[in-house]
Structure 1
Amino acid sequence: MHDETATATDPDEQVLAVVGALNGVYADSLLLVGRILGDRRDATSATVVGADLAGIDVRLTDPDGDHDVRIDFPEPATAESQVVDAAMALVVTARERSGEPGTTSAERVIAEMGGIRTMLTRVVRVVDEHPHLRRITFRGGDLDTFAPLGPDTFLYVLLPPPGRTELTIDQGFSWESVGDMPQDERPVGAYYSMREWRPDTKELDVLFVLHGDEGPASAWAQRAAPGDPVALWGPRTAYAPPPTTTEYLLVADETGLPATAAIIESLPLGTPVRVFAEVASMDQRQALPERDGVEVTWLDRAGAEPGTTSLLDDAVRAAAPPAPTAYVWGGAESRCITAVRRYVRREVGLPREQVSLTGYWRHRDHEDDAYFDEDA
């Protein structure tokens, strides 16, 4: 289970997210854009210092010092949902004009996204695991040709617009087209991790945390019934342990626990696995496989609001540090999981390829955080 967000967001938030992503996760792509489109081929660093729907302001550093340049999008964004695509278009344009070989982080994402499809299917079963957790099973339609990518396979669950019962999209859906759709026609939804895939029956299970009507996916899940149509955009994965991995550290709140369970099930029996799992209360724990070698530490928020504690970071720091050959995976609220990432990357010193800690959702008070550098 991932970020509980609708497709329509505040324009300033979208611009802020692009700035954060370019300065952090896509820093290498920004440098390419700055060097080529900012006409500073000798630049060694680039930082976005301003942005709007028409372009970005970049500070480039080369042997002659700092230079502020304006780089316009190929086409101005006319809707907030188009800002990310406009920024990605700059990377494509810069590569074409550069004549240079190579692939940056944003280009790899563009290639990956281009291969993702939209699958239409329906709800066939709804089961409550406990009062705040619902297992919804999908079957039929395009799931007949589905194949997961790994134990943490995740998909964007696309739902009818509020007040509607039928989908307004088909298999030709793309994020680029959302901005051109009337507001009342736009699908809503969120990212969710697959809990289980049964290839014999072509059934896919997803666990939904129920928290009323606070988000569109939770509101839909509260009322879901067999026969309800959904679209699934995916699959995608962030789980890629090196072949030299000897032990695992898994860190999650409620949203990351379905993938945590699937990862444990995928590992050979006896594999050393430490799990730190944060939940609202001990009676809201999710079932995790009980195996030799698997050690689970449950962390009880005891009434605290999700995303407001340091329980995960505190617990990981208090435990023995992961071994040099460990793989650290996790999914939780963005600021909480970033604190863990900073610890294992900066203080423990694990290299990037041994760490996959993802912000599955963002607390409303942390909106200004936008994106976090994976090297944080």
Structure 2
Amino acid sequence: MSEKSPAFEGYEAHYHVAGVCQVVRAELLTPRMRRITLHGQALAGLERHWRPEMLVRLYFPPQGHDDPPEPFINDDHVLEIRTPPGVEVSPFSAFSEDPLVRAFTGRRYRAESLELDVDFVLHEAPGLASDWVRTAKPGDRLGVVEFNLPPGHRPAAARGADTYVLFADEAALPALQTNLEAFAPETNVRAFVEVTDESEQQSIESPANVEVTWLHRGDAQPGTTGLLVSAARDLEWPQGNVFVWACCDIKAATQIRQFITKERGMQKGTFKVQAYWRRGKTEVERMARMTEVALASAENSPVAFQESFESIGMSDFDPTVFEDATG
């Protein structure tokens, strides 16, 4: 890249956690979301790095195998991966297209018991993660890696604003909840969450002054309703400094970003908008497209690089380049 994007400036991945963990509990939170609790010595020390929106990369067992790839940090602090015979896993990359790897938000960590909760959406369409999680039971194993993100990739709760406005669908609900739990008391927060119906609503805990509006799409397919975009447009805009956080499907993310920047005049640093998924595309296909865009932009200016990422619902200036989608 001839002119380095600000999101990449000085960035080097540092791995805090790497190893194989075992499922100790699996519980249905709602009809379409299941919580998997992982336990393992590999998680020791994770509390030192815990933060809202923390991403963990999960390595799933390949077809025909019970054991997942085993990530580990060698003596030179380099991530390596042991794999079952005949199985290959691509080298670690922020833009991983590996069919056995997915990234999810860590929902909650309990250091005293070395337990990590991860909440999964149960998609109707077949998929690596959702297929595995439907039948996951105590004793099943996953590879787990947690690593740092660029300094600019701060969670919503770490931003300075008078009012925070958050938009999410089910895929981003765990990330939204980690932010709500981390806001300081007396913080003003408006949150809009799209789900199927009332059965998908979850209890919200926060020390902040939070008003949550649940948007029900009913029989409509996810990623087709425009409910979150309408909520953004219909909102009576708060006074003072506003920070907007929107994580959802690519169509809604793109339209919300266009609205807040072009019509509301919001500037870089006052919002974080990210596409967590794309309707009709598998995660491997979506990540492959991200990689394609990055490579095609490598010789262009930072502005062209930013615009190319915005075309697929991301922005290096937010910056969220290194964050993988869920599901």
Q: TM-score, normalised by structure 2?
A: 0.73
Question: What CA deviation, in whole Å up to 9, does each residue of 1:237-264 have, x standing for no partner?
Answer: 6434565422211110001111211111
Question: Partners of 2:15 and 2:170 in 1: how far apart?
Answer: 29
1:351 maps to which residue? Answer: 267
Equivalent pairs: percent with the same residue?
Answer: 29
- 1:159 aligns to 2:60 (yes or no): yes
2:115 maps to which residue? Answer: 203
Question: Partners of 2:279 and 2:238 in 1: how far apart?
Answer: 28
**1:239-250 paired onto structure 2 within 5 Å:** 239-241=154-156, 244-250=160-166
Question: What CA deviation, in whole Å up to 9, does each residue of 1:105-136 have, x standing for no partner?
Answer: 3633x834355653321111111112221111
1:130 aligns with one of 15, 30, 33:
30
**1:56-205 paired onto structure 2 within 5 Å:** 104-105=5-6, 107-108=8-9, 111-113=11-13, 115=15, 118-147=18-47, 148-171=49-72, 172-173=79-80, 178-179=89-90, 188-205=100-117
- 1:252 aligns to 2:168 (yes or no): yes
Query: Matched residue of 1:339: which SS?
Result: helix
1:313 aligns with one of 229, 244, 247:
229
Query: Matched residue of 1:330: which SS?
Result: strand
Contact kept, 8 Å, 2:24 with 2:37, in 1: the verdict is yes
Query: Matched residue of 1:190: which SS?
Result: strand
Task: Report the residue type matching 1:372 in the other structure.
Answer: G
Question: What CA deviation, in whole Å up to 9, does each residue of 1:7-51 have, x standing for no partner?
Answer: xxxxxxxxxxxxxxxxxxxxxx4x53xxxxxxxxxxxxxxxxxxx
Q: CA deviation at 1:145?
A: 2.4
- Would you say how many aligned residue pairs link Structure 1 and Structure 2? 269
Question: Partners of 1:189 and 1:213 in 2: how far apart?
Answer: 18
Question: What CA deviation, in whole Å up to 9, does each residue of 1:70-102 have, x standing for no partner?
Answer: xxxxxxxxxxxxxxxxxxxxxxxxxxxxxxxxx
| 323-332 or 110-119, larger mean C-alpha shift | 110-119
- 1:273 aligns to 2:273 (yes or no): no
- 1:372 aligns to 2:313 (yes or no): yes
CA 1:341–1:119: 2 relative to 1, 3 Å? farther
Contact kept, 8 Å, 2:275 with 2:314, in 1: the verdict is no
Question: Partners of 1:269 and 1:244 in 2: how far apart?
Answer: 14
Query: Matched residue of 2:269: which SS?
Result: helix
Query: Matched residue of 1:156: which SS?
Result: strand
CA 1:349–1:204: 2 relative to 1, 3 Å? same
Question: Partners of 1:373 and 1:131 in 2: how far apart?
Answer: 30
2:178 aligns with one of 237, 257, 262:
262
2:137 maps to which residue? Answer: 225
- 1:296 aligns to 2:212 (yes or no): yes
CA 1:254–1:208: 2 relative to 1, 3 Å? same
Question: Partners of 1:233 and 1:154 in 2: how far apart?
Answer: 9
- 1:216 aligns to 2:128 (yes or no): yes
Q: CA deviation at 1:179?
A: 4.5
CA 1:190–1:243: 2 relative to 1, 3 Å? closer
Contact kept, 8 Å, 1:261 with 1:287, in 2: the verdict is no
Question: What CA deviation, in whole Å up to 9, does each residue of 1:145-175 have, x standing for no partner?
Answer: 223442111112111112321023331447x
2:247 maps to which residue? Answer: 331
Question: Partners of 1:234 and 1:258 in 2: how far apart?
Answer: 16
Where structure 1 has 5 or more consecutive residues not aligned to the other structure, the ranges are: 1-28, 33-102, 181-185
CA 1:314–1:260: 2 relative to 1, 3 Å? same
Q: TM-score, normalised by structure 1?
A: 0.64
Report which structure shows greater RCO (CA 8 Å, sep ≥6). 2
Question: Partners of 2:274 and 2:314 in 1: how far apart?
Answer: 11
Task: Report the residue type matching 1:144 in the other structure.
Answer: A
Question: Partners of 2:55 and 2:63 in 1: how far apart?
Answer: 23
Question: Partners of 1:243 and 1:190 in 2: how far apart?
Answer: 27
1:287 maps to which residue? Answer: 203
Query: Matched residue of 1:193: which SS?
Result: strand
Contact kept, 8 Å, 1:149 with 1:235, in 2: the verdict is no
RMSD: 2.8
Task: Report the residue type matching 1:305 in the other structure.
Answer: Q
More helix by share: 1
